[in-house]
Structure 1
């Protein structure tokens, strides 16, 4: 595995190895031990979309492993692929750093960097895929339930990049996911077909959130208005009425159900404050695990040990 661009491009074995490494390194670091396998190495962190969790988790992970990170703002590059060709940027950065992390809009930006870079490229988010988030989510599920095979996610909301990445993760790792979305916001049919081709019956798309949560182990939601969709805010809030994760929805689920959100959460919209703070919520454990998964990912891609 040279790059990490989407869950769909990884084998089941590679994903399982990353999960096990994430959990092992987390235990090690919780016991105040360090694996300085990236000493002297540097990671370029390119951001077209800002994020608290992405920047902090990658930067801290690199520090934990003995390496360094360089934060690259959009204005530093004059817009990715605008001031200079993407293929030039990829090769220039490859001469300076040992890895490239990109959080951007178009998935083609991440794949284009990977095509021309001679160092590992990590997709920290594109509009099509959010593999680091989904793997941290699955890691959290494994920690909580002690297994992943056979678990069911109920994803309530927009069939977006997170839903797509979770769908591929479920297909590769023996889980199921039911995505409940308003009309017009479903996960695209192509992604559902690709996931179900890996393992038939993995993904079900519905319009009934209450039905979706009834036999779920995990209820997952995300913002109704992602970055770049601000002009659609009023319409989206109206369209997503009835899809809020609230205590009434939790009552329709099994008592063991756990609630997840990739954050930031807009409390009072896609999720209530009461649910965020209830005993079923594992949202902040999930957020912490971004650090632990990304530490494992960096070690896997950038270390020779």
Structure 2
């Protein structure tokens, strides 16, 4: 296992054996942490991902700095900003609008950079969830280009070798260029119509609108027929429903999932949150940088 100086910029960077090692080590080791200098750059609003990280750091009494000031990326030279981060911090956790900026900071800072979410990828969420989805038939509903959808496809196709991944999504959102990058595309089915299955499935759903997004009407018209509602339960045998929080509530009639389903026992986001904390512990533990110097006890 070798996470030496490993940035998690997107999901293509991780190998299958690394994903399996992360899962295997969960809850198996206790360790003491010697603290490193940590910076959290929170450019995008976050309900779950950043708060989970902060919860973990607080639990182990690890100090960290949060940077919320966006002017750094608009006015300062990105190389100089990156080098400044490298001098001040060992590790940078970055939630960003821009994948290019993430790559540049990783390249020029000298710090280990972990992508907590960007426009195209959500690796922390996907690495956490794939082992809850593992060995199940997974049905994705909504926008194929969702960052968490793309991240989960990349990682799930590495470990879910014999299971089918189905996308129930408008054709205009199908991303063939992205699919060509994935090793096992034969197990991915894209469809604008519900595919009937005689086995239990897990549905994975993402919000139609990100925090701060205001252009609703056009997207609602494209996605309204791909909503998770009571009709779906008459067609599919649903085992569980994963939802990348928060659910959009401003226009309940036009949200990605009906309120009664979101509040039902089919949703278990509490398990997703707890497992994310365990994943962060596992990742920190096996990092050979060392993410934290550790001692067995």
TM-score range (shorter-chain normalised) is 0.7 to 0.9
Report if aligned partners of 2:142, 2:223 keep a CA contact under 8 Å in 1: yes
Question: Aligned partners of 1:92, 1:212: CA distance in 2, in Å?
Answer: 54
- Which residue, out of 248, 269, 273, partners 1:283? 269
SS in structure 2 of the partner of residue 36 of structure 1:
strand
Runs of 4+ in 1 over 4 A off after TM superposition: 212-216
* More relative contact order, 1 or 2 (CA 8 Å, 6+ apart): 2
Report if aligned partners of 2:36, 2:292 keep a CA contact under 8 Å in 1: no
Question: Aligned partners of 2:72, 2:190: CA distance in 1, in Å?
Answer: 36
Q: How does 1:74-93 map to 2 (within 5 A)?
A: 74-75=69-70, 78-80=71-73, 82-93=74-85
- Which residue, out of 20, 26, 33, partners 2:24? 20
Q: Deviations over 1:36-84 (max 9, x none)?
A: 32x3323200011011212211112223344222111034xx142x222
- Which residue, out of 225, 241, 250, partners 1:259? 241
Report if aligned partners of 1:99, 1:120 keep a CA contact under 8 Å in 2: yes
Report if aligned partners of 1:181, 1:243 keep a CA contact under 8 Å in 2: yes
- 1:157 Cα shift? 0.3
- 1:24 Cα shift? 1.7
Report if aligned partners of 1:156, 1:220 keep a CA contact under 8 Å in 2: yes
Q: Which runs of 5+ in 2 are unaligned?
A: none
CA 1:241/1:295 → structure 2, altered by over 3 Å: closer, same or farther?
A: same
Question: Aligned partners of 1:124, 1:94: CA distance in 2, in Å?
Answer: 18
Q: Deviations over 1:96-130 (max 9, x none)?
A: 22210100111111111111122210000111111
1:35 maps onto 2:36 in alignment? no
- 1:136 Cα shift? 1.7
1:218 maps onto 2:218 in alignment? no
CA 1:83/1:108 → structure 2, altered by over 3 Å: closer, same or farther?
A: same
Question: Aligned partners of 1:36, 1:154: CA distance in 2, in Å?
Answer: 40
Q: Deviations over 1:139-190 (max 9, x none)?
A: 333xxxxxx2x3221110011111111110111112532111123222x112
- Backbone CA RMSD of aligned residues: 2.2
Report if aligned partners of 2:50, 2:116 keep a CA contact under 8 Å in 1: no
Report if aligned partners of 1:6, 1:131 keep a CA contact under 8 Å in 2: yes
Q: Which runs of 5+ in 1 are unaligned?
A: 29-33, 142-147
1:173 maps onto 2:159 in alignment? yes
- 1:263 Cα shift? 0.5
Report if aligned partners of 1:178, 1:212 keep a CA contact under 8 Å in 2: no
Question: Aligned partners of 2:198, 2:228: CA distance in 1, in Å?
Answer: 13
Structure with the higher strand share, 1 or 2: 2
Length, aligned pairs only: 280
